[in-house]
């Protein structure tokens, strides 16, 4: 009887499976039906499946994606097919205002498709514009994937917010997708991406396990994260691209952090790629190469034998080129006005030749490098041209802290060849510490204050001429140009925005100069006189309204312009300057086009509500008592004495290595901040950045409860925003914060709600 019931149930189940399968087939057949215009061009519908050569009817298709990354608006599935979107626009997230709310995937190329060409497509308003996995010979041509997802930035001109730091160190499980992407490719061999544009987003082209590809003639500029990213990618050619202003974490003259943004990112065993004649200026790092966690753990492998040739990596807030734990060639590049022109930590057998360095803090900086050749470079007005050094010791237990490289590899600073370089107006030509065996000869020095700065830790300096060494490397800086056809000069017109001063980071990323902006040029000045540049397309501007300031040096004029105003002395800072522009066509920061001659309103706003906080810090040992588990700050019947106390009008802290006090340094600690302030009636937005746990009470009501650090698995400090409606008068604030070890931060901001 039991067997009969089981067989009967199984038969019913099979019928259900067959019915579901039939319904699924009918759904996809209906989805794939040809929606044609009278001209024979297809009309896009959500859920459409394209399986053959197709031309799309031009138009704007407002089609929202689904949450997540599994279901696209349009699925393309085929072999040897071309889909010409005919400059049609897919527009997603149509009920959302801000880019950090965008969701869904516009286009997915199905797995195992091959020889697929997508051209003349525009897609905006999505978390990911185009996603492809396991597609061989995919070509993307003349597509515009601008104005898709990007994070809201919490840093200001006065101070960076740690939550804006990104982490790309892992992508085995598509972790990069949390930041969105215009183009996301995984395991797509022989891809061709040419003539495509991405601006006004966060990440442009992100590739994982993609080999033998070509990325040429693209413009991936003015994004807030990464221009081109590679992870486990080898034998690709990246040439003649404009990859400028992929940057965040910069305020001119105040801080230059970059926050792990980069023009080109090369991570985790990506080798034998060539990067040729790309313009990669004004990015967090111009070129950021890291061997990967595999190498950090084992000491093996790396991102090796990449050729970085003929590019411009100037005006990076941090490093023009960063290459670490690997072996590469860096030849004939232009690197001006960076913190470090080249940072080569733990680089070995690396060739750095024929490059031009100018006005960098350090031209070439290499920590723990070995057997590197630095030759035929031109240094001009770098404070230090070449800096070589090693730390006194490596971490005592490198395996325990997450990198075993020093356990498995020789990490001494040794065996450098520095020859035929030209040093001009440098404070110091060569600065070396704890380095052995430096061969230095045939160099030219002009108006350099100090030629060689060394101490007793530097051994075996050899100045003997070595013709065999010169002959060995003489051909590397005269490589014949790669014969690409129909290339566009990515450097044309680059002089217009020369200098790091033109990196203007707004709350949505780098300003692109296609719309007017009023920019405070003395953000940390306390004199009360505020200076502004008004920049943008040619045209006229005028002040429409203002509050919180007076005494304008001018209230109208032509762009560009410089004005000064006086900040009013009030209890709180509440500045709002509204301006109107009329002139050339404007492309707004969110991609809207304002026709020539039409008025466009832009503004400067600044708000600061001081709160009179008393901040107390207490020592913590979670082995004895863990507030995360109990939910209570302190154990019952235990009265804690603070190890540090201070008064503050704002909470904005970051701790590296623990809390430092007169009583010592504490890696685990509790922060309790209590304060009050008089508010004007209105709607406000409270933003909090923390690490590891935080709770916030306003008028004794719990408004933020983030007491579970395990919710946040990435190496990032989270940020959360909540809306508050406050009445006139005094309001009370209490902030409770826990640090469990490692890096710590606590930053509270309050602003008027939009």
Q: What is the pLDDT of residues 170-214, one digit of tens each?
A: 999 999 999 999 999 999 999 999 999 999 999 999 999 999 999
745 closest CA partner among 633, 669, 642: 669
pLDDT at 569: 92
C-beta separation of 25 from 32 below 8 A: no
Cα dihedral sign, 284-288-294-299: negative
Q: What angle do CA 490, 493, 496 make, to 5 degrees?
A: 130
| DSSP for 29-84, written as a single string | HHHTS--B-TTSPBPP-TTEEE-S-EEBPPSEEE----SSSSSEEEEE--EEEEEE
C-beta separation of 534 from 560 below 8 A: yes
C-beta separation of 382 from 361 below 8 A: yes
pLDDT at 13 over 80: no
Of the listed ranges 335-344, 493-502, 530-539, 734-743, the one predicted with least confidence? 493-502
Residue 690 has a CB neighbour count (10 Å cut-off) of 30
pLDDT at 399 over 70: no
Q: What is the pLDDT of residues 615-627, one digit of tens each?
A: 999 999 999 999 9
Percentage of the chain modeled with pLDDT above 70: 92
Distance CA 163, CA 306 (A): 32
Distance CA 176, CA 217 (A): 24
Of the pLDDT bands very low, low, confident and very high (cuts 50, 70, 90), residue 406 is confident
Match 């399968």 to its residue by tokens.
Answer: 21
Of the pLDDT bands very low, low, confident and very high (cuts 50, 70, 90), residue 31 is very low
Of the pLDDT bands very low, low, confident and very high (cuts 50, 70, 90), residue 28 is very low
**Counting every residue, how long is the chain?**
754
Cα dihedral sign, 705-708-713-714: positive
C-beta separation of 525 from 564 below 8 A: no
Query: Quick one: which H or E segment has residue 536?
Result: none
pLDDT at 475: 67
pLDDT at 418 over 90: yes
pLDDT at 67 over 80: yes
Q: What is the pLDDT of residues 292-343, one digit of tens each?
A: 999 999 999 999 999 999 999 999 999 999 999 999 999 999 999 999 999 9
Per-residue three-class SS string for 207-261: EECCCCCEEECCEECCECCEEEEEECCCCCEEECCECCCECCCEECCCEECHHHC
**pTM of the predicted model as reported, rounded to 2 decimal places:** 0.92
Distance CA 309, CA 477 (A): 9
20: phi then psi, degrees, rounded to nearest 5: -60, -40
pLDDT at 715: 83
C-beta separation of 703 from 722 below 8 A: yes
Average pLDDT, the chain: 92
pLDDT at 32: 43
Distance CA 133, CA 171 (A): 14
Distance CA 238, CA 247 (A): 20
3-state secondary structure of 406: helix
pLDDT at 270 over 90: yes
C-beta separation of 249 from 165 below 8 A: yes
Token digits of residue 316: 């990076």
C-beta separation of 216 from 203 below 8 A: no
**Cross-strand pairs, 299:** none
Query: What is the maximum alpha-carbon separation in the chain?
Result: 101
Of the pLDDT bands very low, low, confident and very high (cuts 50, 70, 90), residue 9 is very low
As a whole number, mean pLDDT of residues 578-607 equals 97
Match 């919180």 to its residue by tokens.
Answer: 548
509 closest CA partner among 276, 239, 180: 180
């Amino acid at each position: 009887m039991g067997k009969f019931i089981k067989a009967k149930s199984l038969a019913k189940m099979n019928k259900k499976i067959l019915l579901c399968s039939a319904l699924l087939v009918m759904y996809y057949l209906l989805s794939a039906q040809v929606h044609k215009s009278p001209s024979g061009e297809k009309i896009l519908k959500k859920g459409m499946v394209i399986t053959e050569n197709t031309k799309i009817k031009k138009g704007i298709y407002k089609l929202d994606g689904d949450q997540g990354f599994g279901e696209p608006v349009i699925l393309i599935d085929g072999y040897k097919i071309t889909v010409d979107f005919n400059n049609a626009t897919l527009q997603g997230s149509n009920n959302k205002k801000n880019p950090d709310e965008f969701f869904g995937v516009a286009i997915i190329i199905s797995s195992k498709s091959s020889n697929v060409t997508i051209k003349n497509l525009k897609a905006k308003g999505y978390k990911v514009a185009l996603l492809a996995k396991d597609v061989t010979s995919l070509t993307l041509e003349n597509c515009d994937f601008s104005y898709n997802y990007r994070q809201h930035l919490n840093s200001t001109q006065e101070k960076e917010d740690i939550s804006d730091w990104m982490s790309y160190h892992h992508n085995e499980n598509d972790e990069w997708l949390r930041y969105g992407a215009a183009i996301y490719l995984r395991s797509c061999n022989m891809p061709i991406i040419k003539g495509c544009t991405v601006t006004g987003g966060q990440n442009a082209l992100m590739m994982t396990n993609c080999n033998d590809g070509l990325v040429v003639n693209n413009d991936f500029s003015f994004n807030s994260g990464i221009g081109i990213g590679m992870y486990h990618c080898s034998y690709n050619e990246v040439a003649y691209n404009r990859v400028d202003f992929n940057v965040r974490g910069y305020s001119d003259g105040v801080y230059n952090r970059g926050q792990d943004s980069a023009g080109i990112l090369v991570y985790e065993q990506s080798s034998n790629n060539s990067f040729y004649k790309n313009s990669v200026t004004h990015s967090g790092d111009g070129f950021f190469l890291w061997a990967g966690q595999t190498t950090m753990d084992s000491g093996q492998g790396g991102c090796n034998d990449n050729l970085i040739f003929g590019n411009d990596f100037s005006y990076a807030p941090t490093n023009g080129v960063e290459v670490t734990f690997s072996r590469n060639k860096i030849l004939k590049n232009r690197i001006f006005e960076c913190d470090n022109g080249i940072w080569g930590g733990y680089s070995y057998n690396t060739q750095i030749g024929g490059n031009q360095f100018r006005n960098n803090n350090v031209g070439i900086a290499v920590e723990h490098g070995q057997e590197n050749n630095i030759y035929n470079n031109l240094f001009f007005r770098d404070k230090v041209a070449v800096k070589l050094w090693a730390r006194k010791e490596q971490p005592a237990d490198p395996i325990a802290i997450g990198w075993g490289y020093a356990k498995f590899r020789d990490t001494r600073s040794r065996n450098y060849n520095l020859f035929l370089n030209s040093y001009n107006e440098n404070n110091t030509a060569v600065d070396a510490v704890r380095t052995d065996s430096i061969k230095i000869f045939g160099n030219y020095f002009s108006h350099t204050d100090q030629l060689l700065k060394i101490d007793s830790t530097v051994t075996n300096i050899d100045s003997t001429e070595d013709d065999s060494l010169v002959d060995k490397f003489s051909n590397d800086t005269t490589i014949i140009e790669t014969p690409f056809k129909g290339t566009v000069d990515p450097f044309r017109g680059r002089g217009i925005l020369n200098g790091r001063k033109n990196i203007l980071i707004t709350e949505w990323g780098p300003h692109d100069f296609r719309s007017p902006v009023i920019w405070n040029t003395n953000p940390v000045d306390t004199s009360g006189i505020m200076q502004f540049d008004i920049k943008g397309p040619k045209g006229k501007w005028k002040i429409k309204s203002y509050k919180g300031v007076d005494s304008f040096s001018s209230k109208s004029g032509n762009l560009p312009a410089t004005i000064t105003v006086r900040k009013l002395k009030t209890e709180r800072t509440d500045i709002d300057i509204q301006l109107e522009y009329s002139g050339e066509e404007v492309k707004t920061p969110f991609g809207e086009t304002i026709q020539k001659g039409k008025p466009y309103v832009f503004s400067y706003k600044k708000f600061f509500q001081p709160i009179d906080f008393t901040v107390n810090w207490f020592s913590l040992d979670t082995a004895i008592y863990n507030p995360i588990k109990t939910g209570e700050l302190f154990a019952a019947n235990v009265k804690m004495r603070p190890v540090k106390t201070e008064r503050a009008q704002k909470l904005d802290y970051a701790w590296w290595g623990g809390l430092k006090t007169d009583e010592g340094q504490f890696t685990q600690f509790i922060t309790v901040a209590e304060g009050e302030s008089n508010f004007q009636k209105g709607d406000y937005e409270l933003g909090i950045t923390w690490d590891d746990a935080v709770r916030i009470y306003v008028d004794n009501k719990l408004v933020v409860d983030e007491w579970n650090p395990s919710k946040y698995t990435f190496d990032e400090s989270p940020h959360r925003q909540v809306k508050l409606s406050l009445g006139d008068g005094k309001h009370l604030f209490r902030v409770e914060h826990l640090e469990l070890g490692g890096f710590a931060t606590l930053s509270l901001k309050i602003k008027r709600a939009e």
